[in-house]
C-alpha cells in the first residue's frame, strides 16, 4: 500500500516555546503509526533542528521544510538551500505551496528546478497543486491542475516518481473553513493519478501518495481520507492544535 500521510504545515506560526510544546505534546500522545503511515511536521526554518532532535527516535515521524531555493549556494540573501536542509537531516520540503505561488510569484518552471535540487540532495519534495476559485467556477480545474503537474514534474523519470508525494490544495478551501467535499477531493485526485498514469504507467501512479489540503479538521478528516485516491492530508490551521492534529493522524487509513 502507498504511504498514508498526515502532514502538518505550520506556515509562519509559533514561537520557539509554542513549537516545543506542540512537538512534545504530539510525542506524549504516543500515537501508534503503522508502517504504511507517516506523520510529517513542516515547521518554520528556525525550528527544523529542534524538530529533528525531538523526533529522532519517534517511529513514523518526519520533518519537512516549507520551502527551499532553486540554487545550491551563493549570493541569495535570505534564502535557504537544499544543501543546508540535507546537512541537518531534513526529510521533506514542501514545493510550490499556493501561498508561495500566489504571494511570492513562484511558477511551475522554477518549481521544477526546486524539485530537481531536492532530488539532487536526497530530500523528498511534497509538490503542491490546486486551482483558484475562479478556475473552479469556470469548471476548468482539471486542465489547470494537469498543467501544474506536467510543467512541474514531467521532466522526472519513473524511478523519481515512485513513492512521490503530491498535495492537492484547492486555493478556495485554504484557511477559509470551506472544505472541498470528500467527493470533490476524490474526483480531482483520481484525475491527478490518471494524468500521472498516462505518462508513467499505472504501476508508478499507484505508488504516489496524493494528499488533500484545505480546511482539514478532526471532524472531516475521516470522511476525506476514506476516499480511495486520498492518501492523507496537508493540514494548516488545525495542525497547530494538539487535540485536532492528533485526531487527524488517527483518521488515516
When asked if residue 232 is in the footprint of ligand 13P (CB under 6 A), the reply is no
Q: Is 215 in the site for ligand 13P (CB under 6 A)?
A: yes
Q: Which is nearer to ligand 13P, 197 or 242 (CB)?
A: 242
Q: Report whether 141 contacts 131 (CB < 8 A).
A: yes
Query: How far apart are CB 128 and ligand 13P at their closest, in Å?
Result: 7
Q: What's the min distance (Å) between Cβ of 67 and ligand 13P?
A: 12
Q: Counting contacts by CB under 6 A, is residue 9 touching ligand 13P? A: yes
- Residue 216 interacts with ligand 13P (CB under 6 A): yes or no: yes
Tell me whether residue 191 is one of the annotated catalytic residues.
no
Catalytic residue status for 97:
yes
Distances in Å between the Cα of 14 and the Cα atoms of 17, 43, 46, 238 are 8, 9, 11, 13
Part of the chain binding ligand 13P (CB under 6 A), chosen from 47-55, 180-188, 207-215, 244-252: 207-215
Catalytic residue, chosen from 99, 121, 169, 191, is 169
Q: Strand, coil or helix: what is 120?
A: helix
Minimum gap (Å) between residue 124 Cβ and ligand 13P: 16
* 226 lies in the binding site for ligand 13P (CB under 6 A): no
Question: Minimal CB distance to ligand 13P: which residue?
Answer: 236
Considering the candidates 38, 97, 106, 131, report the single residue annotated as catalytic.
97
Q: What share of the chain is helix, strand, coil (3-state, %, to 5)?
A: 45, 15, 35
Spatial contact of 216 and 179, defined as CB atoms under 8 Å apart: yes
Contact 51, 14 (CB under 8 A): no
Q: Grid coordinates standing for 239? A: 495542525
C-alpha cell belonging to residue 26: 504530539
Greatest alpha-carbon pair distance for the chain in Å reads: 48
Q: Which residues bind ligand 13P (CB under 6 A)?
A: 9, 97, 169, 174-175, 213-216, 234-238
Amino acid at each position: 500500500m502507498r504511504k498514508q500521510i498526515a502532514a502538518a504545515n505550520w506556515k509562519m506560526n509559533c514561537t520557539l516555546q509554542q513549537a516545543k510544546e506542540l512537538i512534545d505534546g504530539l510525542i506524549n500522545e504516543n500515537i501508534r503509526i503503522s508502517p504504511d503511515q507517516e506523520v510529517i511536521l513542516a515547521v518554520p526554518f528556525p525550528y527544523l533542528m529542534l524538530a529533528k532532535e525531538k523526533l529522532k527516535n519517534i517511529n513514523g515521524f518526519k520533518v519537512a521544510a516549507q520551502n527551499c531555493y532553486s540554487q545550491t549556494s551563493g549570493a541569495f540573501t535570505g534564502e535557504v538551500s537544499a544543501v543546508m536542509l540535507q546537512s541537518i537531516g531534513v526529510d521533506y520540503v514542501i514545493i510550490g505551496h499556493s501561498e508561495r505561488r500566489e504571494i511570492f510569484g513562484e511558477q511551475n518552471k522554477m518549481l521544477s528546478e526546486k524539485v530537481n535540487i531536492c532530488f539532487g540532495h536526497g530530500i523528498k519534495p511534497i509538490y503542491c497543486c490546486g486551482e483558484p476559485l475562479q478556475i473552479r467556477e469556470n469548471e476548468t480545474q482539471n486542465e489547470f491542475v494537469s498543467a501544474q503537474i506536467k510543467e512541474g514534474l514531467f521532466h522526472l523519470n519513473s524511478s523519481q516518481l515512485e513513492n512521490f508525494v503530491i498535495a492537492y490544495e484547492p486555493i478556495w478551501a485554504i484557511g477559509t473553513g470551506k472544505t472541498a467535499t470528500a467527493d470533490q477531493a476524490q474526483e480531482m485526485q483520481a484525475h491527478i493519478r490518471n494524468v500521472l498514469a498516462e505518462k508513467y504507467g499505472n504501476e508508478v501512479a499507484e505508488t504516489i501518495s496524493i494528499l488533500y489540503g484545505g480546511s482539514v479538521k478532526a471532524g472531516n478528516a475521516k470522511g476525506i481520507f476514506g476516499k480511495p485516491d486520498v492518501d492523507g492530508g496537508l493540514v494548516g490551521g488545525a495542525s497547530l492544535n494538539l487535540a485536532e492534529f492528533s485526531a487527524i493522524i488517527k483518521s488515516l487509513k
